[in-house]
Each structure stands twice: as C-alpha cells, then as structure tokens.
Amino acid sequence: MKPVIALVGRPNVGKSTLFNRLTRSRDALVADLPGLTRDRHYGEGRVGERPFLVIDTGGFEPVAKEGIMHQMAKQTKQAVAEADIVVFLVDGRQGLTPHDKTITDFLRKSGRPVMLVVNKSEGMRYTAVVSDFYELGLGEPYSISSAHGDGVADLVEEALNLA
C-alpha cells in the first residue's frame, strides 16, 4: 500500500499548487478564485524510490449545513479519514485566521497525524513566517513555497517518515 498524504486547508492557501508540484501534473485545478477545486482529487507522486498518493481537497467549510460547501467539507473529512498523514496548509502572507483554528480543532479530533505547513513563504524569514502559527498547538511549523518549490522535497520526505 502506498502511503496517502491528504492536503487540507482553507481555500486559497495553495493546496492545488502543491498537488501539482507533487504529482508534476496539471490535473488539479489551480485558479485565483478561492475554492474552485470542489472535489477530492487523487494523484501519484514519488520521492526517489518511494511512491505515494496525494489527495487534493476543496476548501474546508465546517459551518455549512447544506449545499456545495457542506459537500466540500464532507469530502475533506473523507480524505482525512483515508490519510496516513495530513498536510495542513496555512498562508504565511495572510497569517492565522479563525478558519485555520476551526480546521485545527477538526484535525485534532480526527486523530490523524498532522504536519502544520506554512505556504507562500518565499522571500520571508522562517521566524517571521511561522510565528503566528505556534498557537495552533500543532508543533513546529514547516515552511514551504508551493509556487517556487522551496522546502517541498524535505516536507514530503518528512511526511513519508511520519505516515
């Protein structure tokens, strides 16, 4: 069985950009419009000899009771349940949002291993980019740039070690 990495986070943090980089495909829909990726989306990646599966998810809207946002939340929950390791992406340029805290609560209850990953960190100092996020209580944050690739190889290697 290949280990499964689920990419989770609120809309627009860069999940699909990371998915594309990991799978080296244009499969996942990347757009400037938040929340455009509405379905779970599976791809296969590889580091060295180690293959893995990665799931891109739509945005996470646990407050919605019905409609498309409810459906997206449901799919994200399924992805988390299937995951060996959850990569929880947040946005280092926007900083911590209430939505990030809601997702943290859900992930903690899920019992899955979680890596907190601060994206969009290119050109910023590590200490500055991660400082907001310690209060989530998910340990030492990783920092990456999905768009530029900084830190992505190390992230995957660590994810596979924890999976």
Closer to Mg ion by Cβ: residue 25 or 161: 25
The nearest distance, CB 95 to ligand GDP, in angstroms, is 14
The nearest distance, CB 38 to ligand GDP, in angstroms, is 10
Check: CB of residue 78 under 8 Å from CB of residue 28: no
User: What values do phi and psi take at 88, rounded to 5?
Assistant: -95, 110
The residue of the chain with the least Cβ separation from ligand GDP equals: 14
Q: How far is CA 125 from the centre of its chain?
A: 21
Q: Which spans in 3-151 are helix H?
A: 15-23, 67-82, 98-110, 126-130
Residue of the chain from 5, 6, 14, 45 that contacts ligand GDP (CB under 6 A): 14
Does residue 37 belong to the site contacting Mg ion (CB under 5 A)?
A: yes
The nearest distance, CB 78 to ligand GDP, in angstroms, is 17
Check: CB of residue 81 under 8 Å from CB of residue 52: no
Residues at the contact surface with Mg ion, assessed by CB under 5 A: 15-16, 37
